[in-house]
């Protein structure tokens, strides 16, 4: 008789204001609900990857780049990650932009992130929207946000898109489907 163990997954995140952590937590919970052995870690406290099969990594985007701790982790662990099934996501404003110019801008992968993707070759990369609060945002940044089709402030996360990506990961890992009501954002 053959026994198959559940995939061992590390879900790592680098966050600035919590949106990325929330998405990473949702992904981890969803994968556990589907039968994976998954653990959530701040990227600064990432586990030893020698016992990990799949790595899901998320980072907030600031100044059109992943957070410095995420970029440093990826560069430092590039050889180890090359032998793993890696999934990468980012959290920023791009997916929340509307209108022709905003949708175009939202589809662009920033040059620094494209360089990381070229080195890492993840199974998949997806950008998600996060939270964007008006407080502390300069007049110039608010104007640019509006010009690019930013319609509102607050929680801009699309939990259905996060759920669909989590389903793609689970399906790629051949995990059983969890009951629909198990994981809710």
Question: What's the CATH code of the domain at 20?
Answer: 3.40.50.360
CA distance 153 to 20: 17
Which runs of E-coded beta strand occur in the chain? 8-14, 37-42, 54-62, 65-66, 85-92, 124-129, 131-132, 154-155
pLDDT score recorded for residue 2: 37
- Domain assignment of residue 128, yes or no: yes
- Domain assignment of residue 53, yes or no: yes
Q: pTM for this structure?
A: 0.87
What residue numbers bound the domain in which 120 lies?
Answer: 8-93+105-134+155-172
- Domain assignment of residue 163, yes or no: yes
Contact 28, 38 (CB under 8 A): yes
CA distances from 164 to 24, 26, 126, 157, 158 (A): 14, 12, 11, 13, 10
pLDDT digits (tens, 9 = 90+) for 63-73: 889 999 999 99
Q: Domain count of the chain?
A: 1
CA distances from 71 to 13, 15, 97, 103, 150 (A): 11, 12, 25, 26, 27
Among 13, 15, 10, 58, residue whose Cα is nearest residue 32: 10
Q: Residue 185 — pLDDT band, cuts 50, 70, 90?
A: low
pLDDT digits (tens, 9 = 90+) for 16-65: 989 999 999 999 999 999 999 999 999 999 999 999 999 999 999 988 89
pLDDT score recorded for residue 146: 66
- Domain assignment of residue 112, yes or no: yes
Q: What are the residues facing 3 on neighbouring strands?
A: none
- Domain assignment of residue 15, yes or no: yes
pLDDT digits (tens, 9 = 90+) for 82-95: 989 999 999 987 77
- Domain assignment of residue 180, yes or no: no
pLDDT score recorded for residue 103: 74
Q: Name every residue whose Cβ is closer than 8 Å to that of residue 138 and which is 6 or more positions away in sequence.
A: none
């Amino acid at each position: 008789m053959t026994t198959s163990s559940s995939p061992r997954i590390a879900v790592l995140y680098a966050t600035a204001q919590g949106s990325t952590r929330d998405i990473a937590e949702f992904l981890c919970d969803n994968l556990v609900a589907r039968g994976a052995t998954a653990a959530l870690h701040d990227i600064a406290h990432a586990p030893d990857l020698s016992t990990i099969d799949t790595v899901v990594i998320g980072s907030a985007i600031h100044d059109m780049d992943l957070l410095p701790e995420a970029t440093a982790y990826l560069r430092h662990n590039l050889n180890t990650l090359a032998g793993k099934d890696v999934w990468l996501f980012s959290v920023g404003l791009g997916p929340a932009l509307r209108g022709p110019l905003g949708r175009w801008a939202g589809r662009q992968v920033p040059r620094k992130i494209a360089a990381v993707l070229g080195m890492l070759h993840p199974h998949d990369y997806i950008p998600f929207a996060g939270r964007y609060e008006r407080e502390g945002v300069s007049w110039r940044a608010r104007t640019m946000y509006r010009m690019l089709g930013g319609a509102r402030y607050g929680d801009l996360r699309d939990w259905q898109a996060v759920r669909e990506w989590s389903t793609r990961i689970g399906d790629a890992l051949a995990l059983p489907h969890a009951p629909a009501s198990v994981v809710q954002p």
